[in-house]
Amino acid sequence: MLKKTHNCGELNAQYEGQEVVLNGWVDRIRDLGGIKFILLRDRYGKTQIFFDPNENKELYEKSLTLGNEYTVGIKGIVKKRPDDAINKNMKTGDIEILATDIEIFSESETPPIYVNKDEDISENLRLKYRYLDLRKEKMQKNLIMRHKIMQASRKYLSENGFLEVETPFLTKSTPEGARDFLVPSRIKPGNFYALPQSPQIFKQLLMVSGFDKYFQIARCFRDEDFRADRQPEFTQIDFEASFVKKEDIFEYGEGLVKAIFKEAVGLEIETPFRQMSYDEALEKYGSDKPDTRYGMELIELNEYFENTQASFIKEKIDNNGVIKGFVIPKKAKEYSRKKFDYFTESAKQLGATGLIWIANDGDKVRSSIKKIAEKEIQDILNHGIIDNGDVMLLLTGDRKEVNKLLGQLRVKVIKEEMEKKSGFDILWIVDFPMFAWDEEENRITAEHHPFTMPNLKDLEMYKDDPLKIKAECYDLVINGYEMASGGERIYRKDIQKRIFEMIGLEEKEIQEKFGFLLEAFKYGAPPHAGAALGLDRLVAVICEEDSIKEVIAFPKTATGSSPMTEAPSRVDEKQLKNLKLKIIE
């Protein structure tokens, strides 16, 4: 076997005259003046190799049998390229290899997708032939970045005293939020394991066990309805520490992110990260994961419309509602009535009943309410809220609903209308509510999860109004994506039991699902806190990918299936019989 001495992204003019062996895939083939040229590719790069019939006719004729994606070993001599043939777009662009020997390891049929060029092909086809798709330079760079991020995480956490401990994949079903993936037990028919939605309970038990600092690059599984860019299995960089408060986790979390960017990206990130309360984020951006790089904060305009003749606005304000909006800078002259109709339809699709718009063209003002609110519009312009060339989109109604809808519309406008901003906008969102109201089940649920420590003063002060209780939890947001979530944990049995009861769990259910955790809290549990970074999303943001599928080696489709392996699939009757299961159609 011709075993490589170097990789395909390594050689340069310093190696001139040396004999080398390269292994890889044939990327491109071309003939020029009776000489055969090929580009050989591996994950490190590409190198040009040529076969000259005047040097070795037999070897040249063998090169004529090569095809794209053949795997080969090639021995040859490094030659400097002529000045007019240097390719500055290649790492190895100042040299080429004169082949002296070749070994064809395996041939390739014509691939169903191109590896050496981008093409617009369906996701299903890409995932069916994922092993070909992963040969593409972009995909290899993405997975290399994923590796670097994992290694940087392990290095930082290990150097700061955290121990890497694996927690079980086969565990107990304790559904609270998303559904569990269930695994039937052959030994105990009728009983099921669940794949973990997170290592949450086990890492807390490790704290009780005396392991004061834990981390894990953890696989997590959630059987949830597929929303935009979610996967049924995903990866977290999970860490927890004992005898700490949330401020300590901020320090560790910031140190981890700083180390990741320095080690994996080569970028220095400033710390500490700024903090913004949950309530402020909703009021200013209509979202608890705002991308603040674009500005475009939500502005309340109630004071300008208190005495308006626009009855549909005044009615909302008089009933404790609001009129709020955000400014799109320097787009007024671009936008025709057709564009505003599009925005209006977009707002309706999000759930709004309509949309108010104002465009300041400089020499004139256009608006959907100009005829009924000309004075109010002029007052807004006089106070410099809408500068020359700016556009403002507004909604009126219930404050909470208006904030939410404007937040969604703002994200859509940024994505479709604004020039993409570079850099990384990183902040902590703090002071989340402990509970949220579930309209479908008509009960309160935990906003994050029921193991988060509530603010103990709030717990007593608002025991009759639990939706006002704040939690000791936090999210890390990068460029508008929730990148990490964490909090101080409940470590007292009485508080944990009380929270379970507040979300509607009966005593029997508490004992069946969480009795082992409450039992552990009886034997000296330390105060503890932690967080988990979403590895898939972090890699996607760093690689500037819109979808996490681009940074996962073998992702599932939007329906949770694998076109390559055809999972999920039926199993044979014998397997079902062993598990004492039967399919009911």
Does some domain include residue 571? yes
Is 202 within the bounds of a domain? yes
Nearest to 496, CA basis, from 205, 280, 278: 205
CATH for 303: 3.30.1360.30
Last residue of a domain, one of 363, 394, 420: 420
Phi–psi pair at 123, nearest 5 degrees: -60, -40
For 396-431, give the DSSP string: EE-HHHHHHHHHHHHHHHHHHHSPPP-S--EEEEE-
Please, are residues 213 and 241 in contact by the beta-carbon 8 Å criterion? yes
Residues 368 and 410 reside in one and the same domain: yes
- Pairing assessment for the beta strands 35-42 and 45-51 based on DSSP bridges: antiparallel
Rounded Cα–Cα distance for residues 60 and 50 (Å): 9
Query: Do 234 and 135 have their domain in common?
Result: yes
CATH of the domain at 60: 2.40.50.140
Cα separation, 148 vs 280, whole angstroms: 35
- Note whether 132 and 236 are same-domain residues: yes
Question: 259 and 349 in one domain?
Answer: no
Q: Say how many C-beta atoms besides its own lie within 10 A of residue 463's C-beta.
A: 12
552: which 2 tokens?
A: 């996962």
N- to C-terminal Cα separation, the chain: 55
**Rounded (10°) angle between helices 493-502 and 507-520:** 150
Q: H or E element: which one contains 1?
A: none
Q: How far apart are CA 412 and CA 232, in angstroms?
A: 25
Same domain, 85 and 223: no
Same-domain pairing of 33 and 159: no
Is 4 among the domain residues? no
* Residue of 484, 492, 491, 488 lying closest to 471 (CA atoms): 488
β-partners of residue 30 are: 37
Q: How many domains does the chain have?
A: 3
Length of the chain measured in residues:
585
8 in a structural domain: no
Q: What is the spatial distance between Cα 164 and Cα 158, in angstroms, rounded to a whole number?
A: 8
- Residues 538, 564, single domain; the answer is yes
Cβ atoms of residues 412 and 450 within 8 Å: no
Q: Judge if 94 and 235 occupy the same domain.
A: no
Residues of the chain with pLDDT under 50: none
Q: What is the pLDDT of residue 120?
A: 87
Is residue 155 within 8 Å of 263, Cβ to Cβ? yes
| Residue 432 belongs to a domain | no
Detail the residues annotated as belonging to a binding site. Answer: 176, 222-224, 231, 448, 482, 489, 534-537
CATH, residue 139: 3.30.930.10
Distance of CA 393 to the CA centre of its chain: 29
Asked whether residue 322 falls in the same domain as residue 260, the answer is no
392, 420, 448 - which closes a domain? 420
Task: Work out the widest C-alpha separation in the chain, in whole angstroms.
Answer: 93
Stretch (H or E) spanning 120: none
Place of tokens 């080969």: 72
Tens digit of each residue's pLDDT (9 = 90 or more) over 502-515: 999 999 999 999 99
Strand partners, 443: 438
- Three-state DSSP string of 427-454: EEEECCECEEEECCCCEEEECCCCCECE
Tokens, residue 212? 């004061």
Scanning the structure block, which residue is given the tokens 């988990």?
A: 532
Domain boundary (71, 106, 141) is at: 106
H or E element: which one contains 542?
A: helix 535-542
Asked whether residue 254 is assigned to any structural domain, the reply reads yes
- Please report, in range form, the residues annotated as the binding site for ATP: 222-224, 231, 482, 534-537
Q: Which domain holds residue 569?
A: 123-273+530-584
Report how far apart, in Å, the C-alpha atoms of 275 and of each of 8, 89, 279, 467, 475 are: 46, 42, 12, 22, 10
Report whether 115 contacts 135 (CB < 8 A).
yes
**From CA 27, how far away is CA 134, in angstroms rounded?**
14
The CB-based long-range contact list for 230-233 (8 Å cut-off, 24+ gap) reads: 231/536, 231/548, 231/549, 231/552, 231/555, 231/556, 232/181, 232/556, 232/560, 233/556
CA-to-CA separations, 377 to 1, 296, 315, 382, 434, in angstroms, rounded: 79, 19, 18, 9, 40
Whether 564 is in a domain gets the answer yes
Q: Are residues 156 and 243 both part of a single domain?
A: yes
Q: Is the same domain home to 254 and 305?
A: no
Please state, in angstroms and rounded to a whole number, the distance separating the CA atoms of residues 202 and 198. 9
- Binding site listing for L-aspartate: 176, 222, 448, 489
- Looking at the DSSP bridge assignments, the partners of residue 226 are none
Residue 417's Cβ-count burial label (10 Å; 0-12, 13-18, 19+) is middle
Q: Which two tokens stand for residue 499?
A: 């929270």
Whole-prediction pTM value?
A: 0.94
Helix (H, G, I), strand (E, B) or coil at 40: strand
| Helix or strand holding residue 117 (H, E) | none
Determine the residue type at 580. K
Q: Report residue 179 as tokens.
A: 């559904």
> What is the pLDDT, as a whole number, of residue 175?
67
Which residue's structure tokens are 């109004």? 465
DSSP secondary-structure letter at 81? P
pLDDT of residue 63: 97
pLDDT in tens, 45-84: 999 999 999 999 999 999 999 999 999 999 999 999 999 9
The answer as to whether 391 is a domain residue is: yes
Residue with tokens 């000045």: 83
CB 283 within 8 A of CB 276: no
Q: Which residues contact 507 (CB under 8 A, 6 or more apart)?
A: none
Residues 355 and 310 in one domain: yes
Q: Strand 163-164 and strand 213-221: pairing? A: parallel
One-letter-per-residue 3-state SS of 327-391: EECCCCCCCCHHHHHHHHHHHHHHCCCCCEEEEECCCCEEECCCCCCHHHHHHHHHCCCCCCCCE
